[in-house]
Amino acid sequence: MTQPIVFMLDVAPADAPEPEGGWAATVHRVPDGQPSLMATELSATRGDGVFETLGVIDGFAQAVDGHFWRLANSAQLLELPAPNLEQWRAAMQIAAAALPTDRQGGVKLVLSRGVEGSGVPTGWLIATTTSGDFPSRRDGWKVVTLDRGYRHDLSEKAPWLLPGAKTLSYAVNMAALREAARRGADNAIFISSDDYVMEAPQSTVLLRRGNTLITPKTDIGILPGTTQLSVFAVAGEWGFATEDRLVAASDLFDSDGVWLLSSVMLATPITEIDGRAIAVDRDLTDRLNDALLARRE
């Protein structure tokens, strides 16, 4: 990964019209290595904000609409001021265009509650490139299952637990990845306390069973997967049925393939879960990644 490129935003209210100089005038590139956040930022002291990470292919930000829908939804769940999506779209284009076009990259965008006491949100973008080499898309990952502690039906009863919001409070997600590494695995799948498949710390779970592609339904308190939505959009053309449903943990072992889906890694086949081998569908893996590498609005 090369040096990230950072842009700070003069965050506009949702209904603000485009300013005279255009939205580009509200997006400021930060000189490399220069601090741009206050130490009293509520993102840094409370994990209080939301984010999205978009894949960038040849300078084109992928699935912007899906990510922006989720950004707005996360902001609403946290009672943050609604984002001005036209402003974020302009900022995203600027950030994506700053990346070299010969490599795959990503842009993370952050909307935080802002400096404590200010009442004004802070927004920024971080553009990064990768080496262009994603061996995991072919070689796959070993994963372990980890208890997420919540029942699958908790979500509607306890909105203050922020189910479905992509918040900056990711300490548990990061700890789960360390636990996976400790067990010799590459990643983890969270299971509800009553044994349903939830999601991975940074990705969505996809299963194939015969002619059907399956993902856990999101009303169990997990994130709607933007990459998963792209997969379901093409699956019909390939002759697959698609299902969002409750997925029992045991279903992971009774499948014709399991993948983790995310915006930058794309589709990673799972080769092993908790030490048990999982069937890898190499043909479908390649088709998934080819489709995800194509331009997606």
**CA-CA distance, 217 to 244, in Å (whole number)?**
5
Ramachandran area for residue 227 (φ above 0: left; ψ -120 to 50: alpha; else beta)? alpha
CB 198 within 8 A of CB 229: no
Q: In this chain, which stretch among 18-26, 42-50, 209-217, 228-236 interacts with its own copies, using CB under 8 A?
A: 42-50
CB 67 within 8 A of CB 52: yes
**CA-CA distance, 257 to 270, in Å (whole number)?**
7
Which residues from 48-87 bind its own copies, rule CB under 8 A? 48-49, 51, 78-79
Q: In this chain, which stretch among 46-54, 93-101, 134-142, 274-282 interacts with its own copies, using CB under 8 A?
A: 46-54
Instruction: Using CB under 8 A, pick the residue from 30, 234, 249, 293 that binds its own copies.
Output: 30
Cβ closest to its own copies, residue 33 vs residue 239: 33
Our finding on whether 40 is near its own copies (CB under 8 A) is yes
CB 168 within 8 A of CB 112: yes
Cβ closest to its own copies, residue 2 vs residue 211: 2
CB 284 within 8 A of CB 155: no
Instruction: Using CB under 8 A, pick the residue from 167, 212, 242, 271 that binds its own copies.
Output: 167
CB 27 within 8 A of CB 94: yes
- List interacting residues with its own copies (CB under 8 A): 1, 4, 6, 8, 30, 33-41, 43-49, 51, 78-79, 108, 110, 112, 116-117, 124, 126, 146-151, 154, 157-162, 165, 167-176, 178-179, 193
